[in-house]
Chain A
């Protein structure tokens, strides 16, 4: 166990709807990153939050947005869901500023199915 938790575990939504996924970082970590893992592929970086601000973004449209709270928990919001958004969404926390701080600890993921 990494200490990173995510909720819900599974979610089914309809195309066009909106969804919010939640992540609780490992204690002491100040950075959270979100990844999308489509079936049969490696995780793809969505964005990262550091000190409650977006600190880097991958090749995802603006309908993917996020928040980081003072307790370092985080949300991923996806608007206007599309069928291709069906994937496992992973949250990873890390401690930026520590030597070797690129080491990220992953949660179990949220499986999103869009129908």
Chain B
């Protein structure tokens, strides 16, 4: 069965620190990968997506992700985090029927 795994469940950083959240997916077919963010009390929002082309994808709010096919990975990065980046981050892969398969999520807390 298709699955998505996120390596870190909780991450705590200080402002200006660099961020990298790991994500691995199991499906070996067509790749449709996403990172979503859920700020406290808000709905899931799309940060970035990868379907094909340049494996380095830039998203909103300074986030980027790199698709590495050989490692089945799609890690999320940000060079310098801000307190406002405190949120839960979900990696997802689109499987059959256009359904999204989500990882368990990573809770990021950024301290001033």
Contact = CB atoms under 8 A, between A and B. Distances in A.
Interface of A: 2, 4, 31, 33, 35, 40-45, 48, 55-56, 58, 90, 92, 94, 96, 100-109
Residue of B42, B43, B92, B104 with highest tally of chain A CB at under 10 A: B43
Contacts of B42: 108
B99 A103 contact: no
Nearest to A4: B43
B68 to A, nearest CB: 20
Contacts of A90: 43-44
Contacts of B105: 40-42
A100 B102 contact: no
A94 B34 CA distance: 14
A109 B43 contact: yes
Contact of B103 (A35, A42, A45, A108): A42
Given A41-B104, A42-B103, A101 B43 contact: no
A22 B45 CA distance: 20
Contacts of A56: 96-99
Most A CB contacts (10 A, CB to CB) among B99, B102, B103, B104 go to B99
Nearest to A46: B99
Given A41-B105, A42-B103, A109-B43, A33 B98 contact: yes
B49 A96 contact: no
B98 A31 contact: yes
